[in-house]
Structure 1
Amino acid sequence: MAIRFACCYFLLLWTYNAPLTAQSRAYFPRSAPEAQGVVTDSILSFIDRVEAEFDVVHSIMVVRHGYSVAEGWWAPYEREAPHIMHSLSKSFTSTAIGFAVQEGLLSLDDLVVSFFPDKKIGEPDRYWNQMRIRDLLTMNTGHAEERWPDANTEDWAQLFLGSDLDFLPGTHFKYNSMATYMLSAILQRATGEKLVDYLDKRLFQPLRIPKPDWKTCPDGVNTGGWGLQIRTEDIARLGQFYLQKGEWEGRQLLAREWVEQATSKQVSNGSDPESDWAQGYGFQFWQCRHGAYRGDGACGQFCIVMPEQDAIIAITSGTPDMHRLLQVVWEVLLPAMRAEPLFPQPEKEAKLRERLSNLKLPLVQEVSTAEARITDGVFQMKPNNASLESVGFHLQEETPHIIFERTAGTDTLWLGQKTYRKGEVIHALPYTENLEPEVAANGGWASPNIYEARVYLFHSPARITYTFQFEGGRLVMKSHLHQALLGRRDLQVLEGRRR
């Protein structure tokens, strides 16, 4: 029996790796879950739970003992497509500061104001003259509220430095994304390089992460606390890098001592034993329950590191309920990890691979197109604050599409039928302003006189739902932005008449 178990174990491990040509591009070798002590049924249960409770999970990757035991992308999201990280960007910024400290370019006790002699500081100055890099890293700047730049703010560093402090730095935890921006600004002043360029040689290239896009402020400084775009596997690579205490492929890239500091509790952020947002905060890493820690970003971008299980879980999503998504991880995936390899389950493993390869976000629930009561045509819109002049429907063509004519120009939204079709919005549909141009859309008749289009911003957690209600020659159009950062809000109802 022991010989049979060993043969099955290694055969299953090898069989999963062998036929996958895409693996040549991946860092993590693939393995059957049971070979790494993970229960396949539990991964299937996790997929069931997130699909039943959320309609916004975009990807999942589970790494155990350095092997990928499960990875999947809900269409239209894809393996190679970068995804906006929101505040998960902060953990990469912290990593850059770690490298700079290691190279003697910075110290945790350096005064923040010492890097900005050209800026005016706020009140009281005795507080400002005590704020250190350490305080930026731990969100202990002394602010009671964070101040965000708006579209008219040209000097972000001055906005931060000119604000008033309510507490002595180092004494009051307040999550503050602009503190992370200041880390990026300090790094650029200390090194002469943008954050993304500095990290490229030290982290991205060694970890084989393609140099990513990272948004910048008007002064050309990477935003630091947000704005990074990377792939799901890149999230997992960062997690594995930290799990290995800064070591990668036999080289100690980042000092072990820094990794331990960054990922341990540096400050208290609450005392609720049931909350993963009250277990303590490190250097831009959150402490979790169950001996884990994480980097996370709004809408459910997660890099969960589980040292006791030697595991990484990477997730991208668009949920406003990050706590509940993390709770599903603890309830389903955590108990699935056992200390020793398990007996192979090839039939269940094959079912899991089939499931993972066919993930898809919900489509429009369509009635029979034979019931639809509209013929194609163009509707002239009444004056509106969306600058939308007309909407043209071409839904009966072989490739359905809708043409939006705005003051800025014209966009065509291509619509998949029973699938998502990718395209671009150059002049921006309503609600896509300042977001990524690539979209993926699905459309269908939700009722005989209501056509619905679901549009995913392909590199973003955001989704837009357009509903078009036809009443004779009249059109009523509504736009709903589903974005956890902004909540769900409705564009005012727009009306039009058939030309």
Structure 2
Amino acid sequence: MHASRRTFLKQLGSGLAAISWAPSAVLFAESKATFTALPRSTPEAQGVSSASIQAFFDALATSNHEMHGFVMARRGHVIAEGWWDPYAPDLRHTLYSMSKSFTSTAVGFAVAEGRLKVTDKVVSFFPDDLPATVSDNLAALTVKDLLTMSVGNEKEPTQAVVKSDHWVRTFLAQPITHQPGTVFMYNSAATYMCSAIVQKLVGQPILQYLTPRLFEPLAIQAPTWESCPKGINTGGWGLSVPTGALAKFGQLFLQKGQWQRKQILPASWIEEATSFKIQQPEPAKPTRPKEQNDWLQGYAYQFWRSQHGAYRGDGAFGQFTILLPEQETVIAINSESPSMQGQLDLIWEHLLPALKKDATLPANPEAEQRLKSTLGALALPPLVGKKASSDPAGISGKTYALETNSLGIEKVQFKIEGGQCVFTAQAGGKEHVVTCGVGSWVKGETGLPGTPPRLISGGASPAGTPFKIASSAAWKDEKTLEMQWRYYETPHHDFITATFENDTVKIAFVNSMNRMKPNPTDARGVLTGKLG
């Protein structure tokens, strides 16, 4: 997942979103479930300039970062929060590698309960899954080496692991070239092994293990976590929680493991898990000085050290929990960004200087109101196209029989009426319907084969599992209909182009990850059909 962090380009829009912040500790109805126990405040009441937060959002609006959710808390108070419609505060969001910090925390609870030591040897937990010959390096591998991404593999093993039916056994069979603990290499399968070890010790997946220890105390509701074929949570990815859950997770760490006057995680573990452990190697062709690169500030236990004394958990495309202990601040982000470093640069440029040491700043009603208006108008825009005719190609209600294709779709139909385009696909005896708003978003669910887009295959839901979707459609020209399907509990969307020529249709898919590449392609190919 780490290798894909810098490759995607998006547009940022404005419009409507679910958003709440207020000058008191009142919890608003639309976000109460998500943010129980975190009061609200104006920025100035917590020593932060509303104008500086506004400058951050102004910079976002002219950037190529596609934002989905944002929460900023200072001194335990939420001072700014917003979601870009169709994303919303009560929705879960795929975290990708931000999941790793939660897995590290599961290890922390196990250590605190005396079930585990970070010096324990990995081979000791899986005597039945070891290779025929156990190398000296494998024998020496510890839990700490897993936590610090210093296993010693020459090649990152995750792809080999997730293609197998037995992930633990496959991981242990990978060559370990370097002495464990000496060389950093990003390794999502190592985090999976932490999950497997905790499950081996406690007899339940880490999602269930963390529920009474972390999720319930912090009122993080209905988290989900993907699992391997053996029922072990994937650990290095696959956790989904709302944006606000990340803010509360970060606040727990700022408070040294204390929550509502209870010590739920030892302060000693917080210190151990977030302090510098190993240096990442510098790239052969650095794009910026080391001191300005947030991926070269050191690594801890599944947390990255950052510039300015900060540290963070993060996941592909910009899933962030950023902690600034000196400034008593947490920033949580969900997004699909082309440059995670670029997002951090904007935070260092605009938000960090705004965190004044003063207990409070003078009230600034005008700046506060402008920020509130900005946050209340956040949205990702639906498609916009030709409006001369609702059906310029005359295809509404017609059914097309498709040639054999990788998705197994046999027939499709487009029905256009009432400001909507209803796309229906028949595959494997099932009918899949996606209703698109023309110039607007329409929410629904779909289990259409080939959806939703994913960065990593391991732990994927079974084919046909329905996912929440927000869809829009527009005519590009007289023969070309475009659709955008946003899977709004993930960072991603699909862009679908249907081209009509006489009695034929060609349907091309490209997902939001591929679409930002110079020459985007999609494994689903082009679907071709004729009126039938």
TM-score, normalised via structure 2 length: 0.87
Matched, 1:212 2:223: yes
Could you list the structure 1 runs, at least 4 aligned residues long, displaced by more than 4 angstroms after superposition.
Answer: 13-19, 149-152, 429-436, 484-488
Q: CA deviation digits over 1:442-488, x for unaligned, max 9?
A: 11123333221111112111110011122333322211111379965
Shifted more, 226-235 versus 407-416: the winner is: 407-416
| Residue 136 of structure 1: aligned partner | 146
Distance 1:345 1:369, change over 3 A: farther
Check whether the contact 2:123–2:130 (CA below 8 A) recurs between aligned residues.
no
Q: Does 2:179 align with 1:168?
A: yes
Partner in structure 2 of residue 493 of structure 1: 526
Aligned partner of 1:345 among 349, 364, 383? 364
Counterparts of 1:116 and 1:425, CA distance in 2: 40
Q: Greater CA deviation, 333-342 or 482-491?
A: 482-491
CA distance in 1, matches of 2:382, 2:118: 50
User: What is the DSSP-based 3-state SS (H/G/I as helix, E as strand, rest coil) of the residue aligned with 1:358?
Assistant: coil
1:445 to 470, 475, 488: 475
Partner of 2:202: 191
Q: 1:20 matched to which residue of 2?
A: 28
Q: Is the 8 A contact 1:369 1:445 kept in 2?
A: no
The structure, 1 or 2, with the larger RCO (C-alpha pairs under 8 Å, 6+ apart) is: 2
Question: Partner residue of 1:299?
Answer: 317
* Alpha-carbon RMSD: 2.3
Q: Aligned equivalents of 2:169 and 2:92: distance in 1?
A: 31
| Residue equivalent to 1:230 | 241
**One-letter amino acid of the structure 2 residue matched with residue 338 of structure 1:** K
Deviation at 1:345, TM superposition (A): 1.7
Residue 489 of structure 1 aligns with an amino acid whose one-letter code is T
Report the secondary structure of 2:352's partner residue. Answer: helix
Q: CA deviation at 1:374?
A: 1.7
Tell me the residue number matched to 1:473: 503
Deviations 1:231-254, CA, capped at 9 Å, x for gaps = 101000110011111111111111
Residues 1:431 and 1:30: Cα distance change in structure 2 (over 3 Å): closer
Alpha-carbon offset, residue 276 of structure 1: 0.4
Please report how far the alpha carbon of residue 489 of structure 1 lies from its aligned counterpart in structure 2 after TM superposition. 3.3
Match for residue 329 of structure 1 among 347, 357, 362: 347
Which residue identity is paired with 1:28?
L
Aligned counterparts of 1:314 and 1:427: Cα–Cα separation in 2: 31
Question: CA 1:309–1:430 in 2, change beyond 3 Å: closer, same or farther?
Answer: closer
Q: CA deviation at 1:14?
A: 7.0
Instruction: Tell me what 2:62 maps to.
Output: 52
CA shift for structure 1 position 329: 1.4
1:417 to partner: Cα distance: 3.2
Which is further off, 222-231 or 365-374? Answer: 365-374
Give the 3 Å change call, closer, same or farther, for CA 234–380 of structure 1 in structure 2. same
Q: Is the 8 A contact 1:177 1:225 kept in 2?
A: yes
Q: CA deviation at 1:16?
A: 4.9
Are 1:200 and 2:221 counterparts? no
Change in 2 beyond 3 A, CA 1:40/1:202: same
Quickly say closer, same or farther: Cα 1:18–1:261, change in 2 above 3 A.
closer
Q: What is aligned with 2:307? A: 289
For residues 213 and 358 of structure 1, the distance between their equivalents in structure 2, rounded to whole angstroms, comes to 29
Following the alignment from structure 2 to structure 1, what is the Cα–Cα distance between the partners of residues 477 and 419?
A: 20
Identity across the alignment (%) = 36
The 3-state SS of whatever aligns with 2:505 is strand
Report the counterpart of residue 3 of structure 1 in structure 2: none
Q: Measured at CA, do residues 494 and 426 of structure 1 come closer, stay the same or move farther in structure 2, by a change above 3 Å?
A: closer
Question: What is the CA-CA distance between 1:55 and the residue it aligns to?
Answer: 5.4
Task: Report the CA distance between 1:270 and its aligned residue.
Answer: 3.5
Equivalents in 2 of 1:355, 1:248: separation in Å? 32
Change in Cα spacing, 1:412 to 1:110, as seen in structure 2 (3 Å) is same
Q: Which runs of 5+ in 1 are unaligned?
A: 1-12
User: What are structure 2's unaligned runs of at least 5 residues?
Assistant: 1-20, 283-289, 455-459
- Which deviates the most, 427-436 or 52-61? 427-436
| Offset at residue 18 of structure 1 (A) | 4.5
Give how far 1:372 is off. 4.9
Figure out how many residues of one structure are paired with residues of the other and give that number.
487
Mapped to 1, the partners of 2:72 and 2:366 lie a distance apart of 20
> 1:211 Cα deviation (Å)?
4.1
